[in-house]
Amino acid sequence: MESENKIVPVLELKDLRKSFGENTVLNGFNLKLYKGENLVVMGKSGSGKSVMIKCLVGLIEADSGSIRIKDHDITKLGQKELDILRTEIGFLFQGSALYDSMTVRENLEFPLRRHKKKLELKGHTETLVIEALTNVGLADAIDLMPAELSGGMQRRVALARALILKPKIILYDEPTTGLDPITSKEIIQLMRTIQDTYNTSSLIITHDVDCARVISNRMILLVDGINYAEGTYQELIASQDPKVQAFFKN
């Protein structure tokens, strides 16, 4: 079963390169995400993790390399096809990125506006919003503004928004940054629950070793713009390579 899933990755980056002027950020990065797994990419702050994940969904144009999601080469897709493909991917942004001029409800409805036709029943939007909020345990925050929520609650709402179209792939950009340890644990727990309920494949970017230990099936270390080391948490922590060890110290 396991090996069967591993034949075709749902998401694949090959030889991804990206520079900003003189600053080379990604220098031939490779990654394969298989169905149902939690893949963690670790890297220092500023090592290009966010750039990599944004290339994945076409927010940043890569200089070269191929990006495949479910048999589509996203560098070759038109705007319409790209938008359709994006509905199958949930994206949790580093700082939650809730729209601060909208209520929680409007935030969650936003990804649905382009899919109104599919939701012909009028009550359907409401049902989806409430369902998504209930999943993250915040059903009663529906009419609040983001500014009225704590950091942890904002992150949950952002997660609900990422999940509202029931994506099969979820990309997390530092899901626990800026949160206290207890709230971080809650968010990680929530991520695991979501993974179990929806059987999603997740790509998690973090520099939080605890988060990586708890959630990862497999890890990639991003160093100097390449996938420097790969393996399970146990394998990597046992590594003798000083660059790898640097991640697990302190």
Partner 1 sequence: MGKTKTILDNSKVFFAEVGDISYFTARFFREVFKPPFEFKELLRQCFNMGNRSLLLVVVTGFILGLVFTLQSRPTLMEFGAESWMPSMVGISIVREIGPVIIALICAGRIGSGIGAELGSMRVTEQIDAMEVSGTNPFKYLVVTRIVATTLMLPLLIIIGDTVALLGSALIENLKGEVSYLLYFNQVFDAITYADIIPATIKSFFFGFAIGLVGCYKGYYCSKGTVGVGEASNAAVVYTSMLLFIIDFIAVFITDIFF
Ligand X SMILES: Nc1ncnc2c1ncn2[C@@H]1O[C@H](COP(=O)(O)OP(=O)(O)O)[C@@H](O)[C@H]1O
By DSSP bridging, strand 38-43 and strand 201-206 are: parallel
Residue 46, interface with partner 1 (CB under 8 A)?
no
Q: Which long-range contacts (CB under 8 A, 24 or more apart) does 69-72 make?
A: 69/10, 69/11, 69/12, 69/169, 70/10, 70/11
Residue 70, interface with partner 1 (CB under 8 A)?
no
Select from 113, 117, 122, 249 the one that contacts partner 1 (CB under 8 A): 113
Beta carbons within 8 Å of 131's beta carbon, 6+ residues apart: none
Give the nearer residue to partner 1 in terms of CB position, either 170 or 236. 170
CB distance 217 to 201 below 8 Å? no
Select from 94, 177, 217, 239 the one that contacts partner 1 (CB under 8 A): 94
Percent helix, percent strand, percent coil in the chain, to nearest 5: 40, 25, 35
Of the candidate spans 49-57, 64-72, 223-231, 241-249, the one that interacts with Mg ion by CB under 5 A turns out to be 49-57
Of the candidate spans 47-55, 127-135, 147-155, 184-192, the one that interacts with ligand X by CB under 6 A turns out to be 47-55
Residue 20, interface with ligand X (CB under 6 A)?
yes
Smallest distance from partner 1 to CB 240, Å: 37
82-110 in b/e form (b: 16+ CB < 10 A) is: beebbbebbbbbbebbbeeeebbbbbbbe
Q: What distance in Å separates the CA atoms of residue 104 and residue 92, rounded to the nearest whole number?
A: 15
Beta carbons within 8 Å of 151's beta carbon, 6+ residues apart: 96, 178, 179, 183
- 115's contact among partner 1, Mg ion, ligand X, none, with CB below 5 to 8 A by partner kind, is partner 1
Smallest distance from ligand X to CB 20, Å: 4
Give the nearer residue to ligand X in terms of CB position, either 133 or 205. 205
Q: What are phi and psi of 195, to 5 degrees?
A: -60, -40
Q: What distance in Å separates the CA atoms of residue 55 and residue 47, rounded to the nearest whole number?
A: 14
Smallest distance from ligand X to CB 151, Å: 18
- 87's contact among Mg ion, ligand X, partner 1, none, with CB below 5 to 8 A by partner kind, is partner 1
Residue 50, interface with ligand X (CB under 6 A)?
yes
Residue 50, interface with Mg ion (CB under 5 A)?
yes
Smallest distance from Mg ion to CB 49, Å: 5
CB distance 245 to 229 below 8 Å? no
Instruction: List residues binding ligand X (CB under 6 A).
Output: 20, 23, 25, 43, 45-51
Instruction: List residues binding partner 1 (CB under 8 A).
Output: 54, 57, 59, 83-84, 86-87, 89, 91, 93-95, 97-101, 110-111, 113-115, 161
